[in-house]
Amino acid sequence: MIDLKLLRQDPDVVRASQVARGDDPGLVDQVLDADARRRAALTDFETLRAEQKSLGKQVASAQGEEKQALLAKAKTLAEQVKALQADADAADALAAELARRIGNVVEDGVPAGGEDDYVVLRHEGTPRDFAAEYGADFAVRDHLELGEGLAAIDTERGAKVSGARFYYLTGIGARLELALLNAAVDRALAAGFTPVITPTLVKPEIMAGTGFLGAHADEIYRLEADDLYLVGTSEVALAGYHSGEILDLSGGPLRYAGWSACYRREAGSYGKDTRGIIRVHQFHKVEAFSYTTVEDAADEHRRILGWEEEMLALAGLPYRVIDTAAGDLGSSAARKFDCEAWLPSQQRYLELTSTSNCTTFQARRLGVRERTADGEVRPVATLNGTLATTRWIVAILENHQQADGSVRVPEGLRPYLGGLEVLEPTTPSGGGSR
């Protein structure tokens, strides 16, 4: 939820943010109107309450007809006080509901526009020239062809058992995912994160508190019988971990690395990335999550981006860093940087990591606060970022493929695969690579 104090003091900033996101700036005025009505009702309420108390003293000392008249007046005042309280409560509820529809105020410098209006900040690494290496006739294999040749990915049986966009990782495929996730945990430990294996089912108030039940609620699986939601990222469970608490941030950020299965309905993605494991309903991920002070949030955001890039370097992937446009941030983020790896089979970049600075937006909804050195209690800032996920297998297989269908293991992952240097093709019944 946005800061209502900011909205009252500088509504133009919030209006500009809404415009940059492509959202309705008129919501700002609707919130301000409801808030003004709430405060006016409360002012009248307090005035009548004071009159009511004064009248009560007069009733106590009055006699006869005077007392009856005062009692009648007291009854009328009581009804008016009750009505004003109801008006204030209704205006407060309306202001809160409208405020929840306003996205976080975007940071200065965030590109305006939608999904295609990002700004490329830099490129790291150089995509391989397969034609130069293997000849002009070399046909780049995509990750599914490579994965099937390695007996690592089985989408046919995944669809048989669970339906479209499900899969099995088998043999070296399973080992490769575990290698990635364990490497991410090691990176997180080195950076001062506490590893956490999180719940993947959460209550509605936690899902709503993180900002995922807005415009993209149709992306989320809901278990109606239990009134629980399946998370699409451990960010949700980690954001709720300290809900309703006052944190001590005097020693620096509180950092958690959540390992979880993730579930996404992929509603609205019909026909997009249907081949292989790029866009699927279930995957695993290690997510970095930080609670920090408002003043430190931008620096922590850059630090998380740096740790993501260390993981990409460990996997030996060429990639670019983009500054995501306001309309593609999601409601809770004030800024988001994505790292996109080069995908040789499609000659395009594929998002592998995303890190968001959510400032105080989630913390206000979830009641996560800190006590400052001077005793003030205020909302904290929350940040998140991907350290590794199943999708990385796509980029690793394609970028490190060799002419015979084998795949070279990036040096950074070899310690997590028992020193294995090359993944060799095998038959589906062959038990994986040597």
- Check if 279 is active-site: yes
pLDDT confidence of residue 2: 74
pLDDT confidence of residue 429: 41
Q: Are both 48 and 174 inside the same structural domain?
A: no
Q: Name the active-site residue from 391, 398, 406, 433.
A: 391
pLDDT confidence of residue 432: 43
Q: What is the pLDDT of residues 146-181, one digit of tens each?
A: 999 999 999 999 999 999 999 999 999 999 999 999
Q: Are both 229 and 313 inside the same structural domain?
A: yes
Q: Are both 62 and 141 inside the same structural domain?
A: no
- State the binding site for ATP: 264-266, 280-283, 351-354
Q: Name the active-site residue from 290, 331, 332, 354.
A: 354
Q: Are both 72 and 150 inside the same structural domain?
A: no
- State the binding site: 233-235, 264-266, 280-283, 287, 351-354, 384, 386
CATH classification of the domain holding 393: 3.30.930.10
Q: Name the active-site residue from 51, 124, 245, 351.
A: 351
Q: Is residue 111 part of a domain?
A: no
Q: Name the active-site residue from 37, 279, 371, 408.
A: 279
Return d(Cα 190, Cα 268) in angstroms, integer.
Answer: 39
- State the binding site for L-serine: 233-235, 264, 287, 384, 386
Q: Are both 237 and 285 inside the same structural domain?
A: yes
Structure tokens at 53: 């108390």
Q: Is residue 112 part of a domain?
A: no
pLDDT confidence of residue 69: 81
- Check if 351 is active-site: yes
Q: Is residue 63 part of a domain?
A: yes
pLDDT confidence of residue 8: 86
Which secondary structure element, helix H or strand E, spans residue 258, and what is its range?
strand 254-263
Q: Is residue 354 part of a domain?
A: yes
Q: Which residues of the chain have pLDDT under 50?
A: 428-434
Q: Are both 228 and 322 inside the same structural domain?
A: yes
Q: Is residue 109 part of a domain?
A: no
Question: Last residue of a domain, which of 74, 101, 128?
Answer: 101
Return d(Cα 162, Cα 154) in angstroms, integer.
Answer: 12
**DSSP-based three-state secondary structure for 97:** helix
Q: Are both 132 and 249 inside the same structural domain?
A: yes
Closest CA relative to residue 38, chosen from 46, 27, 48: 46
Q: Are both 187 and 256 inside the same structural domain?
A: yes
> 376 phi and psi, to 5 degrees?
-70, 140
Q: Name the active-site residue from 21, 141, 165, 264.
A: 264
pLDDT confidence of residue 268: 66
The whole model's pTM is what?
Answer: 0.89
pLDDT confidence of residue 430: 39
Q: Are both 337 and 245 inside the same structural domain?
A: yes
Q: Is residue 106 part of a domain?
A: no
pLDDT confidence of residue 6: 83
Packing angle of the helix pair 297-314, 172-190 (nearest 10 deg): 140
Q: Which domain holds residue 340?
A: 119-423
pLDDT confidence of residue 427: 58
Return d(Cα 133, Cα 402) in angstroms, integer.
Answer: 9
Q: Is residue 264 part of a domain?
A: yes
pLDDT confidence of residue 110: 96
Please identify which residue in the block is written with the tokens 């966009």: 165
Return d(Cα 126, Cα 119) in angstroms, integer.
Answer: 19
Q: Are both 90 and 125 inside the same structural domain?
A: no
CATH classification of the domain holding 53: 1.10.287.40
Question: Last residue of a domain, which of 72, 101, 130?
Answer: 101
Q: Is residue 107 part of a domain?
A: no
Number of domains, the chain: 2
Question: Last residue of a domain, which of 101, 130, 145?
Answer: 101
Q: Are both 233 and 132 inside the same structural domain?
A: yes
Q: Are both 236 and 356 inside the same structural domain?
A: yes
